[in-house]
Structure 1
Amino acid sequence: MANHSRVPNERSRRILGDLAETLGCSVDVFFDPSQNDDLSMTEELLNLWFSIEDPAARHRILDCARAVRAETEAQPRA
Structure 2
Amino acid sequence: MADHTRVPNERSRRLLGDLAETLGCSVDVFFDPDPHDDRAMTEELLTLWFSIKDPDARHRILDCARAVKAEAGADAQPRP
Q: TM-score, normalising length from structure 1?
A: 0.49
Structure (1 or 2) with the greater helix fraction: 1
Larger radius of gyration: 2
Q: TM-score, normalising length from structure 2?
A: 0.48
